[in-house]
Amino acid sequence: MRILVVGAGAVGGYFGARLVQAGRDVDFLVRPARADLLNEHGLRVRDLDGSVEAVPVTAVTADTLAPDYDLVVLAVKSYGFDAALKDIAPAVGPGTAVLPFLNGMRHMDALIDRFGADRVYGGVAMVQTRLGENGEIVEVGRMAQLIYGPVSDTPVVPLDAVHAALDTGTFSATAAEDAVQELWDKWVFLASMGACNCLMRGPIGRINSAEGGREFSRAVFEEAAAVAAASGYPVRPKVRERADRMLGDTTAGTTTSLYWDLTHGNPVEADHIIGDLVARGRALGVPTPMFALADLHLRVYEAGRA
């Protein structure tokens, strides 16, 4: 199976490198300057122990693409999604599956509208990595898991073929029966944690240890869960149990990439993670005052960056 990984950042770079190491046929779609660096020096991955490995990879640019791929793995930040959607179009043929690993649901609507449900998969990535100052992939924890599945009953690429390509043993790979539910479950948890971190400017343990903090974090989660339920994807018991444990912790230093970007002056995925949840709640008549406040907070931050 020929695989095109779109993006060589913290998510796409990490999982793409692992696929290459497992012998899969992988190209990376990146910008020209990045392509030159990757083709010459490889994709550098720094493990938790500090050791760095340069993985030889093949990097391509958008102007060279043709519909020769069986699977397009989309792993970009949400604010780069619109450009990536345009870039990948020449690579998506009638027998190509597109598997995005973005947060939220807005990208799913756009992909289905552009390519049709039979060519779109839903994907959830859980990995503890970030992009280093020199473009290397830096592991900051042991978690590395992909969950994926088709959104159509008649996918152009069967799930067993996608699973065979991704299940390399170099990370956890799970074929999901209901990928859309998986997406909603992750979105509810991630948006809740991110809203808490960003509004209170701190890790979840510090928030919950303050007077009124636990009531705040619980209220944030319940808003997101209410939007999911009204959308037809109520949070599953195992996700609620995990949320109660992690969002209720009084000692953990847990934060999100949304908070990391906010506190490091980077662009933030506000619209996809927070703003779209507010918009869906408004359309469904579900109040989301905490998320609306978080959305405003992040919009003011972005205005300041601009």
pLDDT digits (tens, 9 = 90+) for 279-298: 999 999 999 999 999 999 99
CATH 3.40.50.2300 fits 2-177, yes or no: no
Q: Which of 50-64, 127-141, 172-186, 195-209 has the lowest mean pLDDT?
A: 127-141
Handedness of CA 84, 41, 145, 5 (dihedral sign): positive
Question: Which sequence spans correspond to the domains of the chain?
Answer: 2-177, 182-305
| 139 alpha carbon, distance to own chain's centre | 16
Alpha helix (H) ranges present in 22-176? Answer: 32-41, 81-88, 106-115, 159-166
Output the pLDDT for position 229. 98
pLDDT digits (tens, 9 = 90+) for 88-99: 999 999 999 999
Residue 43, φ and ψ in degrees, nearest 5: -95, 120
pLDDT digits (tens, 9 = 90+) for 194-212: 999 999 999 999 999 999 9
Output the pLDDT for position 292. 98
Q: Distance between CA atoms of 121 and 99, rounded to whole angstroms?
A: 5
Quick check: 85 and 111 in contact, CB under 8 A?
yes
Confidence of residue 234 (pLDDT cuts 50, 70, 90): very high
pLDDT above 90 coverage of the chain, percent: 95
pLDDT above 70 coverage of the chain, percent: 100
Confidence of residue 134 (pLDDT cuts 50, 70, 90): confident
Q: Whole-prediction pTM value?
A: 0.93
Output the pLDDT for position 135. 85
Output the pLDDT for position 306. 82
- Which two three-digit tokens encode residue 74? 């989309």
Reading phi first (left if > 0) and then psi (alpha if -120 to 50, else beta), residue 134 is in alpha
Output the pLDDT for position 177. 86
pLDDT digits (tens, 9 = 90+) for 114-127: 999 999 999 999 99
Output the pLDDT for position 133. 83
CATH 3.60.60.10 fits 182-305, yes or no: no
Average pLDDT, the chain: 96
Q: Distance between CA atoms of 12 and 18, rounded to whole angstroms?
A: 10
Residue 166: Cβ within 10 Å count: 25
Quick check: 236 and 186 in contact, CB under 8 A?
no
Confidence of residue 58 (pLDDT cuts 50, 70, 90): very high
Q: Which of 126-130, 131-135, 166-170, 218-222 has the lowest mean pLDDT?
A: 131-135
Output the pLDDT for position 132. 86
Listed in sequence order, the residues at least 6 apart from 78 whose beta carbon sits closer than 8 Å to its beta carbon are 102, 103, 104, 106, 107, 269, 271, 272, 273
Mapping DSSP to helix (H, G, I), strand (E, B) and coil, where does residue 12 land? helix
